[in-house]
Structure 1
Amino acid sequence: MATVSPPWSYTLQLPHDPRAPGIARVTLRAVLAAHQLSELTPTAELLASELLTNAHLHAPGPSALRVLWAEPGRLRVAVWDTDPTVPSGFREGAPVDLPQRDAEHGRGLHLVRACADAWGVSVLRELGASRGGKLLWAEYRAAGRPWG
């Protein structure tokens, strides 16, 4: 009889600090190892690192990393930040303009889109306890694991 692991999620609150992506990667490794999903670590780290670096560079406040395993074989990595502006690489219908070969910036969200099976953004309005901002997310299917 096949077993199904229950859904789980973790959220890590991070200050506006250049060390935040590194702290998030270490935490992400530990979470995935605890759930016997270490094979997902390289892609999950890349997604988290790029999204968190983007948040640090473009949002003035704190951020948060959320990792969600809601369906067998599917991992979602999401980053919340305080700036409601949607990056051009995540805008609906926006052309995918690659940066110049010698450009030092501008590849992060292209990498996220290339590595993810699905991606998106939610702009959050400040209501009650909400702090507003946006949530960028990317998810991908683990090789050899079925979609839920």
Structure 2
Amino acid sequence: MKSARVLLALPGLAALVWGVVLFADYALPLRPDVFGTIGWLVGGPILNDAVIAPLTAILGLTLARVLPQPWKTPVVTGTVLTGVLLILAFPLLWRPYGTAPMPGLHDGNPALGLTLTLAAVWLAVVLTALRHRLTPHRKRPTRPQTRRT
């Protein structure tokens, strides 16, 4: 078990070292734009861990306590997916061309894309929750057979 953990950790550590090498190649010698990059690299995880993740967790727990049983799991899942989608869309919503240019990425409207994706997520949430009303819960007439002898 210990050797498996080491074998799984080695590629992650190698990727971390490669990221540090690439960042050092970009950042050294120091220029004014490097400080903005450091702000994004440090500020992003702090913003996520201090604001977005706790708000998503509090909202999910509150909804799980308030909502009836068929709505709990779909609504909490939709809430978490909404938080993740907002994190992913933030750079494009913050400023135009907020990420590295990729073919086709900047051809569309990121706000419209986020709105349509969130609409699809919440439509799936509603349909999943309503599925319980449309299909009755079936109870087993007898005990299930097991392999015990």
Is the shorter-chain TM-score for this pair beyond 0.5, marking a shared fold? no
User: Relative to total residues, which structure has the larger strand share, 1 or 2?
Assistant: 1
| Structure with the larger RCO, 1 or 2 (CA within 8 Å, 6+ apart) | 1
Larger proportion of helix? 2
- Using structure 2 for the length normalisation, give the TM-score: 0.31
Q: TM-score, normalised by structure 1?
A: 0.32
